[in-house]
Structure 1
Amino acid sequence: MITATMVVATIPVTDLERAKAFYGETLGLTFLWETPVGVRYRCGTASEISVFKRPPVETEHTLAHFEVGNIEAVVQDLGARGVEFLDYAEGPLTTTGHIAQLGPARAAWFRDPDGNILGLRQG
């Protein structure tokens, strides 16, 4: 059995400087520390994200999502900061105003500069 104090999402990036600008400035996450190959950010009160340098990889799924209290406000704020949201018109997901209804929850997705899919979730 694993006994952990937290789980940290780790996200591969090819350019740490570009990732620092996106995660720190665009998303507004709190910088914690940096090594030559990675940067750690705090998200909220008890979560962290680690971005680490590696050659390009392709992912087709959400690597991490942020639990938010007001998804419309966060989508609007990030859109104003230049974040482009993924919209879906076919299949099991459809978005309206960049937001999909998932049972009682709602969600939205966007990509970081390396193409990694990140999400927002309220519910």
Structure 2
Amino acid sequence: MMLGNEKIMAFVGVSDANKARAFYRDTLGLTMLYEDNFALVFDVNGVMLRVTLVGEVRPQPYTVLGWQVNDAVTTARTLSNAGVKIDRYPHVQQDEDGIWTAPGGAKIAWFKDPDGNILSIAQM
């Protein structure tokens, strides 16, 4: 219970502040709070996201950051129209918008930031 009542914050590592700013602020539409020599800091619906500047990004083979959305189809199409490539994976069956429907009914799509970090949207 020590941290159970505290607000969580999220981190993602990037190598280029200019590319990250353009992607997270301008393409994804996140509200930027401030920027310093260490990170770009965004407010994402009350949660702080620190897009941390690191020397070298080693993208992981799994989702590192995701958003729960009301409508996966509309969101995936909006992302695509903004120039974001929805990723396709051979081991899951995705529809024409790149959305996979999980066995429990969640609709999920994945995409990458400029450093190759895997991000997702999910309609639960």
| TM-score, scaled to structure 2 | 0.90
Is the contact made by 2:59 and 2:118 (CA closer than 8 Å) also made in structure 1? no
Please give the per-residue CA displacement for 1:10-51, whole angstroms capped at 9, x wherever unaligned: 00000011100000000000111111110111122x223110
| Partner residue, 1:94 | 93
Q: How far off is 1:53 after superposition?
A: 0.8
Percent identity between the two aligned chains? 30
Partner of 1:22, secondary structure, is helix
Q: How far off is 1:89 after superposition?
A: 2.9
| Structure 2 unaligned blocks of 5 or more | none
Cα distance in structure 2, aligned partners of 1:52 and 1:28: 18
| Structure 1 unaligned blocks of 5 or more | none
| TM-score, scaled to structure 1 | 0.91
Q: How far off is 1:4 after superposition?
A: 4.5
Q: How far off is 1:122 after superposition?
A: 0.5
| Partner residue, 1:7 | 8
Cα distance in structure 2, aligned partners of 1:88 and 1:3: 35
Please give the per-residue CA displacement for 1:28-77, whole angstroms capped at 9, x wherever unaligned: 00111111110111122x22311011122231111110011011111111
Is the contact made by 1:63 and 1:116 (CA closer than 8 Å) also made in structure 2? yes
